[in-house]
Amino acid sequence: MLAGMTAPAPSYQRFFAELKRRRVFRVMAVYGIVGFVLLQVVDLAVPALLLPEWTYRFVALIVLLGLPVAVVLAWAFEMTPEGVQRTSAAEPGEIRAIIAAPAWQRWPAGVLALTGLSALLLGAWYVGRESVSPAATATAAGAVEASIAVLPFLNMSSDPEQEYFSDGISEELLNLLAKIPELQVAARTSSFSFKGQNLEITEIAKRLNVAHVLEGSVRKSGNEVRVTAQLIRAADGFHLWSESWDRTLDDIFSIQDEIATDVAEQLTVTLLGSTPTAAEADPAAYALFLQARHMGHQRNAESLEQSRALYQQAVEIDPDYAAAWAGLGRTYFTLVMDGLRPVEEGHGMVVESANRALAIDPEHAEAHALLGRAAASGNDRAEALQHFQLALELEPANTDVISDAAVLVRDLGRLDEAIELLEYARARDPVNPTIHSVFGVAYLWADRLDDSMESYRTALSLSPGRIAAYYGIGMALLLQGQPEAALSTFAQEEGDEEYRVKGMALALRDLGREEEFQAAFAELRERWGDRWPSEVAHVYAWTGDADATFEWLEKAIAQNEDGLNQQFLQPHYRPVHDDPRWEAFRERTGTSAAQLAQIEFNVRLPR
């Protein structure tokens, strides 16, 4: 190199100097900061203006795509007193002067540009994260985005006795939404369990495993009704949609249809068909129907009889009201189950009412389910499962039908299939203690003993004193070889004294406390042996006394004891399974492997 000459600056230095000369760094800094502010405004404006969720991502994408455009324009053009012109070439020595300037003069522009870009990227990431957080939060918690719980609407009427009407509207909306296969709806038992509890919406949604909650209020005055509904996103408590209607009772069905349609649209549910619509009925009969169902939920002797009478009035006013006929049949079934009506009379009314409903509406799922329950009570499991299969084809998300079908499938020994059905029901009815108890039995019979105990404990946490829950836990402990722990658990069984006495007898036997065992066993035989011979057979089988076991099973067969078709699944009989009389007993009770294999039940649950 010749003396007196300086080496040319590296190309990257010349490039960055050119960026500074053309004010590209300044444009990048300003663009980044303005973009960041714009994204924060969008973050506030979208929920406030009820704009769709995709607005976040759309604006963020546009802002990010605009950055390279702004950089290119800043490089190619400059503002002059004459307007926008192409950027002029550098004057001689201008680039070298920029490179030679002290660092404190050169670096601020680059730092500002880097700061602006960082702010822009941070804003885009944050807003993008917020735009998907409800779904992400729901997914993390196990809930799907298209899931909802309908809470009981508040009764805003001046008369507290009108609460049946607000509860009824809520339940009708729940049932209507549950008919949308693409939408996961929490069952009534779980949703209504939070009534009167001062819990945040987010907490309720978490417990019900849903991403959204529908709540509202109803004010009824004579024939006038005002309904208000609002849809809430559970992740942040934001109100996605709200509406009010002032109508007459004649329009109550159209209100329900509008709410169901709006909810489906707000949750962006892609419907395979049209939104289900409420079946209309005479307004007076409808009010009686809601009141009858409300009384039936209270499930005591007086309320059930009132429910029956109200349903009867409803069908007298509107003989073509299929839901009222099905409700009447359901009430008769409950009266029989609770021992408040003779079996033959009650079952006859169940079948008659269900058939009246089906004559009006052949696709009435609850009516088919009622016929299934009646057939199951008569030990005709094949017919029962046919009716349940029809009911589930019509309403595949009906958790009551699914639970009943699961019990029947479980009693056929198809434990894996029963557990699959129960898992589907539990996902939609997570705080229903009955489902957890049924799970406990299925897991116990399937030798999934830890799962069984967990299910029973969940049932107890939801319903302290749950009948047979402590007994189920005790049996699991006994099968695990923990008789001491089983004994103390059986002693806690307060829901059913017979279970307590029998369980303690079994545990005392395993502990070798013979005298105490004999005393407890004697009490079991004397107090309950005539009514439930199979319970005595359980203990004899557990002790290995096969002759006594089959002697007491003969008594159970002779009196057609309820639950005979479950006996082959009871773990107590394992010591006598090799006895040839065991297969003969299964044959006589219709539970041999060949007999059970002939019963068909094929249901595909929606996912």
Cα 98 to chain center, whole Å? 67
Q: What would the DSSP string read from start to end of 357-393?
A: HHHH-TT-HHHHHHHHHHHHHTT-HHHHHHHHHHHHH
Report which residue type is found at 186.
A
Q: State the Cα angle at 352 between 249 and 598, rounded to 5°.
A: 120
Among the residue ranges 207-211, 275-279, 567-571, the one predicted with the least confidence is: 275-279
**Looking at residue 1, what is its pLDDT?**
43
**Looking at residue 109, what is its pLDDT?**
59
Q: What is the DSSP letter of 153?
A: P
Q: How far apart are CA 6 and CA 463, in angstroms?
A: 89
C-beta of residue 210 within 8 angstroms of C-beta of residue 232: no
Virtual torsion, Cα 75, 76, 79, 84, nearest 10 deg: -160
Output the CA–CA distances (angstroms, integers) from residue 297 to 52, 150, 261, 303, 395, in the order listed. Answer: 39, 17, 28, 8, 21
Q: Name which residue leads in pLDDT, 38 or 156.
A: 156
Q: How far apart are CA 270 and CA 180, in angstroms?
A: 10
Establish how many alpha carbons lie within 13 A of residue 52's alpha carbon, considering only the half-sphere containing its beta carbon.
9
**Looking at residue 130, what is its pLDDT?**
43
Q: Name which residue leads in pLDDT, 472 or 104.
A: 472
For residue 549, pLDDT beyond 50: yes
C-beta of residue 328 within 8 angstroms of C-beta of residue 304: no
- Provide the token pair at 511: 């502990």
C-beta of residue 440 within 8 angstroms of C-beta of residue 472: yes
Report which residue type is found at 595.
Q
Output the CA–CA distances (angstroms, integers) from residue 348 to 227, 333, 374, 483, in the order listed. Answer: 39, 10, 9, 46
Buried b (16+ CB within 10 A) or exposed e, 77-88: eeeeeeeeeebe
C-beta of residue 60 within 8 angstroms of C-beta of residue 124: yes
> Maximum distance among all alpha carbons in the chain?
123
Q: How far apart are CA 311 and CA 75, in angstroms?
A: 80
Q: How confident is the model at residue 124 (pLDDT cuts 50, 70, 90)?
A: low
Q: State the Cα angle at 543 between 448 and 553, rounded to 5°.
A: 85
* H/E stretch holding 478: helix 469-479
Q: How far apart are CA 61 and CA 77, in angstroms?
A: 25
Residue 7's Cβ-count burial label (10 Å; 0-12, 13-18, 19+) is exposed
For residues 558-586, average pLDDT = 94
| Mean pLDDT computed over every residue of the chain | 84
For the chain, what is the total number of helices (H) and then of strands (E)?
Answer: 27, 8
Q: How far apart are CA 333 and CA 323, in angstroms?
A: 15
**Looking at residue 14, what is its pLDDT?**
66
Residue 331's Cβ-count burial label (10 Å; 0-12, 13-18, 19+) is buried
**Looking at residue 47, what is its pLDDT?**
54
For residues 245-253, average pLDDT = 87
**Looking at residue 267, what is its pLDDT?**
78
Q: How confident is the model at residue 258 (pLDDT cuts 50, 70, 90)?
A: confident
Q: What is the pLDDT of residues 130-146, one digit of tens each?
A: 443 333 333 334 568 88
**Looking at residue 35, what is its pLDDT?**
75
Q: What is the DSSP letter of 576?
A: G
Closest CA to 565 of 602, 539, 596, 536: 596
For residue 207, pLDDT beyond 60: yes
Output the CA–CA distances (angstroms, integers) from residue 191 to 132, 206, 323, 429, in the order listed. Answer: 26, 12, 21, 8
For residue 150, pLDDT beyond 50: yes
Q: What is the pLDDT of residues 208-234, one digit of tens each?
A: 999 999 999 999 888 888 999 999 988
Among the residue ranges 122-131, 154-163, 501-510, 551-560, the one predicted with the least confidence is: 122-131
C-beta of residue 243 within 8 angstroms of C-beta of residue 259: yes
Q: What is the pLDDT of residues 418-459, one digit of tens each?
A: 999 999 999 899 999 999 999 999 999 999 999 999 999 999
Helix (H, G, I), strand (E, B) or coil at 24: helix
Length reported for the chain? 607
Buried b (16+ CB within 10 A) or exposed e, 447-485: ebbebbbbbbbbbbebbeebebbbbbbbbbbbbeeebeb
**Phi first, then psi: what are they for 156, rounded to 5°?**
-100, 5
Q: How confident is the model at residue 198 (pLDDT cuts 50, 70, 90)?
A: confident
Pairing, β 212-221 against β 224-233: antiparallel
**Looking at residue 50, what is its pLDDT?**
47
Q: How far apart are CA 395 and CA 97, in angstroms?
A: 80
Cα 257 to chain center, whole Å? 22
Q: How confident is the model at residue 32 (pLDDT cuts 50, 70, 90)?
A: confident
Q: What is the pLDDT of residues 297-316, one digit of tens each?
A: 888 889 999 999 999 999 99
Q: How confident is the model at residue 396 (pLDDT cuts 50, 70, 90)?
A: confident
For residue 364, pLDDT beyond 70: yes
C-beta of residue 164 within 8 angstroms of C-beta of residue 231: no
For residue 327, pLDDT beyond 80: yes
Q: How confident is the model at residue 52 (pLDDT cuts 50, 70, 90)?
A: low
Q: How far apart are CA 226 and CA 245, in angstroms?
A: 6
**Phi first, then psi: what are they for 489, rounded to 5°?**
-75, -45
**Looking at residue 139, what is its pLDDT?**
37
Highest mean pLDDT among 48-57, 247-256, 553-562: 553-562
Report which residue type is found at 539.
V
**Looking at residue 398, what is its pLDDT?**
87
Establish how many alpha carbons lie within 13 A of residue 432's alpha carbon, considering only the half-sphere containing its beta carbon.
23
For residue 417, pLDDT beyond 50: yes
Q: What is the pLDDT of residues 523-542, one digit of tens each?
A: 999 999 999 999 999 999 99
Q: How far apart are CA 227 and CA 79, in angstroms?
A: 60
pTM for this model (two decimals): 0.71
Number of other CB atoms surrounding residue 354 within 10 Å:
28
For residue 271, pLDDT beyond 80: no
Q: How far apart are CA 493 and CA 468, in angstroms?
A: 7
C-beta of residue 511 within 8 angstroms of C-beta of residue 492: no
**Looking at residue 8, what is its pLDDT?**
57
Q: What is the percent of the chain with per-residue pLDDT over 70, rounded to a whole number? A: 81
Pairing, β 184-185 against β 154-155: unpaired
Q: How far apart are CA 352 and CA 328, in angstroms?
A: 10
Q: Which domains does the chain have, with CATH numbers?
A: 11-141 (no CATH), 147-278 (3.40.50.10070)
